[in-house]
Amino acid sequence: MHSSCNLIKSNNTSVKGDIEIVTECVVTEEEQHFQEIENNQIKSYEVIGASILDKARKDSLVNYGFRLPSAYDNRPLKFEEFEDRINQVVFVSATPAEYEKEHGIAAICPATMTLPKQRLMEICKNAKEYKDIQMNTKSLEKNNEQVNTSEKLKAKLVGINLEGPFISPDRVGAQNPEYVQKPDAEMLQELIDESGNMVKLVTIAPERGGAIECISKLYDKVRFSVGHTMANYDEATLAYESGAKHATHLYNAMTGLNHRNPGVVGAARDAKNVTAELICDGVHIHPSVVRATFSMFGSDRVILISDSMRACGMPDGESELGGQVVIKKGNEARLVTGELAGSVTNVYGCMVKAIEFGIPIADAIKAATYNPAKAIGILDEFGTIEIGKKPGFVLVNEDFSINQVL
């Protein structure tokens, strides 16, 4: 005779001496159901207890300043919640230094976006802390002590390029106009101090109020670069006479060269101590203009830069720049409006492009190595191959594709 309920059979085996005892028990489905309820109740009590302890732990962390109040909401935000709460964010690649080193680049001086002061202060602080890590690594190497292998495989961070916020609101390019500020010498000094003197370049629009005063006060602390500007020839010339010595990505985001209005390009050309950047990626500047610029300025005053953003080295698709959506396709990166949003070519790639455009090999190499190192004051470590300097060798094939980075 079978009962109306299902039976669940279980075996429990135990060993006593040399005798194996098998105990067979039969449990009704109803009994198992009540057992599950009891187990769940025990688990619930455990969860409640854990929650109480977790609450007490978080109270201590929040009250004593080790965590923000948001720690109470200990769950990941949904993407919609993330978008609602976020205002401005800096997205940083996890391994830019490794990527650069793999592509033959020994040192980097990355540019910041135009951001609120507090965010720029955080960036400067992070740069100083990373500099300290690099100094510790250098000290270990000097004493022949063991060094983290991963640190050897990274390009060295040699400075910061503040490409904002002291720019023209009419020439922001792909940057956020909301955070553009008038040049402020006091604020800039704070950023320099916070960075531990890692700020090497500062882009400035000389037609803006306070710009010339800022340059005059701090030109011996940083290298001022005229860029993202509506300045005419006279305004740019005054900036160079006041101590500026650089031009940010010549032709892009500035007044152009005209036979009656030579603009920033003409002023930079006439100021003999000024160096000029070129984004030689084959997109930002026509090859003819690259050749003309080397002729106008000479190989000693041209600096090849990448102006690359976070999509550099990534496959085609959607990326981001200062909170704005960027679409990468091939060797171009553009905002959804169609405006160029930086480059996706690294410095080595730009040097190869310059050679392809007809620039002599020696001149192109100099513009990518010696000239930038000299401009930001790191020629004692980089820029040439000499005894006592950082070793940096790139073995290339006949077509300039990289064979090996040493």
Tokens linked to 280: 């030689």
For the stretch 7-13, contacts whose Cβ atoms lie closer than 8 Å and that sit 24 or more positions apart, written own/partner, are 8/32
Mark whether 228 and 114 lie in a shared domain: yes
Residue 231 resides in a domain: yes
Active site includes 54?
Answer: no
Residue 244 confidence (pLDDT) above 90: yes
Mark whether 12 and 135 lie in a shared domain: no
Mark whether 141 and 22 lie in a shared domain: no
Residue 376 confidence (pLDDT) above 50: yes
pLDDT over 70 for what percent of the chain? 74
Give the integer Cα–Cα distance in Å for 279 and 111. Answer: 14
Say what the pLDDT of residue 369 is.
92
| DSSP bridge pairs for 203 | 225
Residue 107 resides in a domain: yes
pTM over 0.85: no
For the stretch 86-92, contacts whose Cβ atoms lie closer than 8 Å and that sit 24 or more positions apart, written own/partner, are 88/115, 88/116, 88/119, 88/176, 88/179, 88/322, 88/323, 89/323, 90/115, 90/119, 90/123, 90/322, 91/310, 91/320, 92/310
Tokens linked to 391: 């070793």
Please identify which of the residues 307, 316, 363, 380 carries the catalytic annotation: 307
Mark whether 174 and 273 lie in a shared domain: yes
Residue 108 resides in a domain: yes
Domain extent, residue 134, equals 94-283+377-405
> Mean pLDDT across the chain, nearest whole number?
81
274-330 pLDDT per residue, tens? 999 999 999 999 999 999 999 999 999 999 998 888 788 888 888 887 777 888 899
325-359 pLDDT per residue, tens? 888 899 888 888 888 888 888 899 999 999 999 99
